[in-house]
Amino acid sequence: MSNCIFCSIIKGDIPSNKVYEDDDILAFHDIQPAADVHVLVIPKKHIASLNELDSSDEKLIAKLTLHIPKIAKTLGLDAGYKTLINTGKGGGQQVFHLHYHIIGGKIHALESLKHIG
Ligand code: AMP
Ligand code: ZN
């Protein structure tokens, strides 16, 4: 999608600090980290939010979800972490390209967590 910031990151038109990438998935550090570790995990397919998922996305979403603990492990989050998906304006979603937040370590910016909680 041309006016989607995360699609631009996938295309490489906007730089990102990548932590994992394959044919279907990209993970990169949040530009405004709200905690010691704050990574976003997205499908390369543009899906606006959980509300726009359909049954044809079943495999992709399963793959995305199954990669969360693998990515968390590479980030050193052995003690655990939080995951979060904001859905819709009322849910605090700002970027309308489906993404998991992986949040680990100390939360140091409660202000910036307001938009994701
Ligand atoms: P949400 O409020 O759930 O839609 O979260 C969107 C997240 O995307 C926020 O935590 C932003 O800090 C983050 N974000 C926005 N633009 C970028 C970018 N160019 N690179 C990395 N993270 C971004
Ligand atoms: Zn997109």
Q: Which amino acid residue places its CA nearest to atom 13 of ligand 1?
A: 30
Q: Where are the domains of the chain?
A: 5-115
Average pLDDT per 10 consecutive residues for the chain, totaling 117 residues: 94 98 98 97 98 98 98 98 96 97 90 56
Position 2 scores a pLDDT of 82
38 is catalytic: no
**CATH topology classification for 5-115:** HIT family, subunit A (3.30.428)
Nearest bound ligand to the CA of residue 94:
1
Instruction: Say what the pLDDT of residue 109 is.
Output: 77
Concatenated DSSP letters for the chain? -TT-HHHHHHHTSS---EEEE-SSEEEEE-SS-SEEEEEEEEESS---SGGG--GGGHHHHHHHHHHHHHHHHHTT-TT--EEE---SGGGT--S-S--EEEEEEEE--HHHHGGG-
Pocket of ligand 1 (CB under 6 A): 5, 14, 16, 30-32, 40, 86, 92-95, 115-116
- The catalytically annotated residue of 99, 101, 108, 115 is 99
If you take atom 15 of ligand 1, which residue's CA is the nearest one?
31
Mutational test site, ligand 1, from 19, 26, 32, 38, max ligand atoms within 8 Å of CB = 32
pLDDT digits (tens, 9 = 90+) for 30-55: 999 999 999 999 999 999 999 999 99
